[in-house]
Structure 1
Amino acid sequence: MYSRVARNVFCTAKQVQRIASRGEATRAAVQVNTPETRVTTLPNGFRIATEDSDLPTCTVGLWIDAGSRFETASNNGTAHFLEHMAFKGTSNRTQLQLELEVENMGAHLNAYTSREQTVYYAKAFSKDLPRAVDILADIIQNSTLGEAEIERERGVILREMEEIEQNQQEVVFDYLHATAYQGTPLGLTILGPSENIKSINRNDLVSYIKNRYKPSSMVLAAAGGVDHDKLVALAKQYFGGPSQSEAGADGLMPCRFTGSEIRHRQDSMPFVHVALAVEGVGWENPDTIPLMVANQIIGAWDRSSTNGANFPNPLMRRMANEGLCVSYQSFNTLYTDTGLWGIYYVTDNDNVFDCTIRIQDELMRVCRQVSDFEVERAKNTLLTNMAIMLDGTTPICEDIGRQMLCYGRRIPWPEMTMRIQAISAQDVKDAMLKYVYDQDPAVAAIGPTEALPMYTNIRAKMYQAYSGIFS
């Protein structure tokens, strides 16, 4: 499996001043009532980050700067293929021995690949942390990558591709990346094309490991009942060797955003699936937070929702009252130096024209006329959703690993809360005017797309004045 959405919190200088003006007591509050995230860096660049909450269970994992963004058209799919091969046996454990060892200690071992990261993690009893780290180190460093296993896994990945092709939302977002980042690594899919999967060999996998799986590109993250010092000792034992030369590692190539569109017309489908996005910002950009709040203002809705006709959200009321769509959801996908900010919606051919126009009207409204009440409600909802997402050792561990890779530290929850609370309606409007208003969008659609407005009309709607239809 692989995940798409990630979130970040950074604040502008103006927001920092606003926070600082609240006084020393407020700043001191940031340091209390939250478990400390401890970080240690080994001489070879390998990092260990933990949050100890004194629980009987823990999650520990390796977060690696490796994904489809570090591939080319010729080897696209290698990172994901390698993730599959990690559980097929090592020089110390056969696949059966590995599976039995994990099962016998009641643990769970899993992995996923995204466009910029590959993750291997285990959830186990805290007392079994040393064994979990031993297993993780073994599958990363000693995988046999046997020819028979490679051939068997080709079929597994090809079947996975067939399943994803039946998920229209996944297809649309792959199309969106392909058109928004055409000609760049972010335009590649995570699984890769089928012709690559059929041709990837052991040498390709070994080469990718040597190029991307370097100590300075890894973070060993853990949450739950974990002793930081003991985990550091384990890291020294398993990952503390001398750093390999990093001269051969591929750097992060800039990925140019292109306003454009992909339409895959299939009149046999009952609904049109559309994603409309502008270029957002990367993890460390200070405009991330106001764009997150704007994202929350637009929100999400589907026909089965109890919220609708009487909800304060104007776009939601419009869709509920007029039945213009089956569902919609805003999204904010972040990468190191760029991102996609937009909305994904499902409708039918009879309503796709009006639905698109109404959605763009809402985008223009948020650019110019968003209210203080809407912003406060959006901030509260955002904070609630983020807190829910951090419920459990696995999401906390994931949060630690991702943040360590993206900007070198874990942002404490109180600091995150203060930064979000510092956002004003004017901050949201400024960000929307900068990144959404009069910008070239990327559009991807699949289904009966005949009535979807032409790209030139969609582009024109990105600067037309708000019509007041929601007033």
Structure 2
Amino acid sequence: MLRSVTARIARRVAVPTTTIPANRRSFSSPVPTRDPAELDRITTLSNGLRVATEAIPGHFAAVGVYIDAGSRYETERLCGCSHLVDRLAFKSTSSRSSDNMLEALESLGGSVSCASSRESIMYQSAVFNKDVATMAGLLAETIRDPLITDLEVSQQLETAAYEIQEIWVKPQLILPEVLHSAAYMGNTLGNPLVCPEDRLDKINKSLIDEYRRLFFRPDRMVFALAGVEHDTAVKLAEKLFGDMKPSPAPSSTTPPGILSKIPFVNHPPGDTIDVKKPAHFTGGVITLPHSSLPTHLPLFTQMYVAFEGLPIGDPDVYALATLQTLLGGGGSFSAGGPGKGMYSRLYTNVLNQYQWIESAVAFSHAYSDSGIFGIAASCHPSAASALPNVILKELAYTFQRSGIYSLSKDEVQRAKNQLKSSLLMNLESKMVVLEDLGRQVQTQGRNVTAVEMGREIDKLTVEDVRRVAERVLTGKVRNMGAGTGKAAIVVQADNDQVASMGDLQQRVKAHGLGRY
């Protein structure tokens, strides 16, 4: 019922992610111009909780609560708590046992999940329309009134220990985590999403309770509903969350829009946590050996190369998403073959040209104030020394202004069409619509419609995509955290293979990438 850490990470890295949230309306029919506030349908309660709705017709509705918490806000003391809070969802409360909670959820016949990310803890569900109030009540109960017994914490710590071992033997799951550590060394988005193994014996009920008191506040929550009328949703939110107390007011000396200081619970007076500290992209290189745990999977040399990308609210996010689609990629098993139509650059220029490369895929992660953009690749260990050059050339080609590798109008148009198609296909799931609604309101304060996004994508030119490629890949991004402009690189291989790659930062610089 609840997604494991393995499952939720796999969902994020199994296919290239896009920096644009999924949309909700078809591009095929014109939509009259309306006030953005009317489109968003957002109401803020007196305690700061935001209620966001999308009244989509149908037999099912989706309900979720999105909390502004997650691993980026964790201090050294709280490290790993987001992972455990996720796992402790839908257990016992003051009014029902864990078994009774499970029975109540199963009786509704829908789906329910809880997942933690770097910037959010998400409680989500889908049920028949008639059961919306009941399911919302169960969400409110597990969020506001969990018992979190010592036994429950102990059981979830055991589960987490198993998950950690499982993740470390699968490069596609653990290397994106290591990449974030290289990109944001020692700060915010570089904090581990998965609880570190050495933290398992330090997390207990009192620490979980402290984490919840710090972050589970109404002004840090979005109550989102897809398929429910707005007025009905507001009344439901007032009933379930209206009596919650908001966070203490920020310090009068706190710069607006940068830091929001919240006092710790049970700590000395004046002890605070900066819950809005900007993400500082440091860049750096991390090399690690293959896992020593037994596995049936073949051992390839793995390499991730990334640069600071764009936050979700940046106007160039549409061009960057188009660039990611244009690069595309995947595994060698699907490369080539008649009729497959795989025209992305990483297929045509890399996977179809170099038999020793096992996979190559462009990826993008977008956050509220920063992002990561790059390519993940793997190859036969004997060819490790040649892999960096192939990948770095493909990145440099994207902003080349002349020659056979410069961007063409046809491939940019193909990528734009593919991006719009992918966005709209995602909207066939109300759970996707729900998460899009909740996360956009949480990060941007409003929900951007598919019509708006489609217009922005349609306006893009070859020069726009080329300009954004140069902006990101040459370290010209200037986000709030004032990143260094250097590349973040992760390599998993034996020592001799790592040595054969040479100085990776110098190789990045030699290709005209990054800012050095």
Q: Does 1:265 align with 2:281?
A: no
Structure 2: how far apart are the matches of 1:342 and 1:85? 34
Q: Which residue of 420, 426, 447 maps to 1:410?
A: 447
Structure 2: how far apart are the matches of 1:443 and 1:53? 43
Q: Is the 8 A contact 2:51 2:224 kept in 1?
A: yes
Of 234-243 and 305-314, the range deviating more from structure 2? 305-314
CA 1:396–1:311 in structure 2 vs 1: closer, same or farther (change >3 Å)? closer
TM, length-normalised to structure 2? 0.81
The residue type paired with residue 446 of structure 1 is Q
CA offset at residue 202 of structure 1? 1.6
CA 1:28–1:223 in structure 2 vs 1: closer, same or farther (change >3 Å)? closer
Q: What SS is found at the alignment partner of 2:460?
A: coil
1:75 maps to 78
CA 1:444–1:30 in structure 2 vs 1: closer, same or farther (change >3 Å)? farther
Q: What SS is found at the alignment partner of 1:351?
A: helix
2:311 maps to 282
Q: Is the 8 A contact 2:307 2:372 kept in 1?
A: yes
CA offset at residue 315 of structure 1? 3.6
Q: Does 1:158 align with 2:145?
A: no
Structural mapping, 1:81-92, within 5 Å: 81-92=84-95
Q: Is the 8 A contact 1:39 1:48 kept in 2?
A: yes
The residue type paired with residue 321 of structure 2 is M
2:489 maps to 443
1:351 maps to 383
Structural mapping, 1:105-116, within 5 Å: 105-116=108-119
The residue type paired with residue 392 of structure 1 is S
Structure 2: how far apart are the matches of 1:46 and 1:267? 44
2:435 maps to 398
CA offset at residue 294 of structure 1? 1.1
Q: Is the 8 A contact 1:180 1:259 kept in 2?
A: yes
Q: What SS is found at the alignment partner of 1:62?
A: strand
Q: What SS is found at the alignment partner of 2:448?
A: coil
CA 1:62–1:298 in structure 2 vs 1: closer, same or farther (change >3 Å)? same
1:459 maps to 508
CA offset at residue 114 of structure 1? 0.5
Q: Is the 8 A contact 1:308 1:317 kept in 2?
A: no
1:432 maps to 469
2:45 maps to 42
Q: Does 1:117 align with 2:120?
A: yes
Q: What SS is found at the alignment partner of 1:110?
A: strand
1:30-62 per-residue CA deviation (whole Å, 9 max, x = no partner) reads 659xx9542221111111111122211111010
The residue type paired with residue 280 of structure 1 is G
Identity of aligned residues (%): 27
1:16 maps to none
The residue type paired with residue 345 of structure 1 is A
Q: Does 1:241 align with 2:243?
A: yes
1:254-274 per-residue CA deviation (whole Å, 9 max, x = no partner) reads 222123111113498620111
The residue type paired with residue 244 of structure 1 is P
2:258 maps to none
Q: What SS is found at the alignment partner of 1:458?
A: helix
Structure 1: how far apart are the matches of 2:76 and 2:40? 38
1:138-158 per-residue CA deviation (whole Å, 9 max, x = no partner) reads 000100011111112110111
The residue type paired with residue 93 of structure 2 is T
1:208 maps to 211
1:409-468 per-residue CA deviation (whole Å, 9 max, x = no partner) reads 11111111001111111111111212203652110011344333431442234318xxxx
1:240-259 per-residue CA deviation (whole Å, 9 max, x = no partner) reads 11533334264211222123
The residue type paired with residue 246 of structure 2 is Q
Structure 2: how far apart are the matches of 1:267 and 1:163? 10
Q: Does 1:98 align with 2:101?
A: yes
| Structure 1: tracts of 5 or more residues without a match | 10-25, 465-471
Q: Is the 8 A contact 1:264 1:447 kept in 2?
A: yes
Of 44-53 and 405-414, the range deviating more from structure 2? 44-53
Q: What SS is found at the alignment partner of 1:122?
A: strand
Structural mapping, 1:221-236, within 5 Å: 221-224=224-227, 226-236=228-238
Of 267-276 and 91-100, the range deviating more from structure 2? 267-276
Q: Does 1:363 align with 2:400?
A: no
Q: How many residue pairs get matched?
A: 446
1:183 maps to 186
The residue type paired with residue 52 of structure 1 is A
Q: Is the 8 A contact 1:61 1:121 kept in 2?
A: yes
CA 1:234–1:456 in structure 2 vs 1: closer, same or farther (change >3 Å)? closer
CA 1:308–1:433 in structure 2 vs 1: closer, same or farther (change >3 Å)? farther
The residue type paired with residue 414 of structure 2 is R
Structure 2: how far apart are the matches of 1:50 and 1:307? 44
Structure 1: how far apart are the matches of 2:77 and 2:337? 47
Structure 2: how far apart are the matches of 1:173 and 1:399? 22
Q: CA RMSD in A?
A: 2.4
TM, length-normalised to structure 1? 0.89
2:365 maps to 333
Q: Which residue of 348, 363, 374 maps to 1:317?
A: 348
CA offset at residue 28 of structure 1? 5.7
Structure 2: how far apart are the matches of 1:71 and 1:431? 32
CA offset at residue 355 of structure 1? 3.1
CA 1:114–1:308 in structure 2 vs 1: closer, same or farther (change >3 Å)? farther
CA offset at residue 214 of structure 1? 1.1
The residue type paired with residue 486 of structure 2 is D
Q: What SS is found at the alignment partner of 1:106?
A: coil
CA 1:461–1:311 in structure 2 vs 1: closer, same or farther (change >3 Å)? farther
Q: What SS is found at the alignment partner of 1:89?
A: coil
Q: Is the 8 A contact 1:324 1:352 kept in 2?
A: no
Structure 1: how far apart are the matches of 2:80 and 2:291? 30
Q: Is the 8 A contact 1:63 1:218 kept in 2?
A: yes
